[in-house]
Amino acid sequence: MEKIQIKDIINVLEAIAPPALQEDYDNAGLLTGNLQDECSGVLCCLDATEAVLEEALRRNCNLVVAHHPVIFRGLKRITGNNYVERTIIKAIKNNIAVYAIHTNLDNVRDGVNGRVAEMLGLTGCQPLVPKKGLKKLYTYVPLEQAEAVRKAVFAAGGGHIGNYSECSFNTNGTGTFKGSADTHPFAGTPGIRHEEPEVRIEIIFPAWQQRTVVKALMEAHPYEEPAFDIINLENSYMQTGSGLTGLLPHVADEEGFLQQLKKVFGLKVVKHTALLGKPIQKVALCGGAGSFLLKDAIASKSDIYISSDFKYHEYFDADNQIVIADIGHYESEQFTINLLYDIIIEKFPNFAVLKTEINTNPVFYHA
* The pLDDT of residue 367 is above 80: no
pLDDT band at 239 (very low <50, low <70, confident <90, very high): confident
Q: Which residues contact 36 (CB under 8 A, 6 or more apart)?
A: 5, 6, 7
- Which pLDDT tens digit goes with each residue over 176-193? 999 999 999 999 999 999
- Which pLDDT tens digit goes with each residue over 264-317? 999 999 999 999 999 999 999 999 999 999 999 999 999 999 999 999 999 999
Res 73: pLDDT: 84
d(CA 148, CA 146): 6
- Which pLDDT tens digit goes with each residue over 347-357? 999 999 999 99
- Which pLDDT tens digit goes with each residue over 207-217? 889 999 999 99
pLDDT band at 74 (very low <50, low <70, confident <90, very high): confident
CA distances 354 to 62, 115, 204, 330, 332, Å, are 12, 18, 38, 19, 21
Q: Which residues contact 253 (CB under 8 A, 6 or more apart)?
A: 279, 280
Res 228: pLDDT: 97
pLDDT band at 366 (very low <50, low <70, confident <90, very high): confident
Average pLDDT over residues 226-230: 96
What is this structure's pTM?
A: 0.87
pLDDT band at 170 (very low <50, low <70, confident <90, very high): very high
Res 285: pLDDT: 98
- Please report which residue ranges of the chain form alpha helices under DSSP H: 6-16, 50-58, 83-93, 103-106, 112-120, 146-155, 210-220, 254-265, 294-299, 312-316, 329-333, 336-347
* The pLDDT of residue 1 is above 90: no
- Which pLDDT tens digit goes with each residue over 95-124? 999 999 999 999 999 999 999 999 999 999
SS3 annotation, 247-276: EEEEEECHHHHHHHHHHHHCCCCCEECCCC
Domains observed in the chain:
6-106+335-355 (3.40.1390.30), 112-127+243-327 (3.40.1390.30), 133-235 (3.30.70.120)
Q: Look over the chain and give the mean of its residue pLDDT values, rounded to a whole number.
A: 95
Res 362: pLDDT: 96
DSSP secondary structure letters along 344-356 = HHHH-TTS-EEE-
pLDDT band at 238 (very low <50, low <70, confident <90, very high): confident
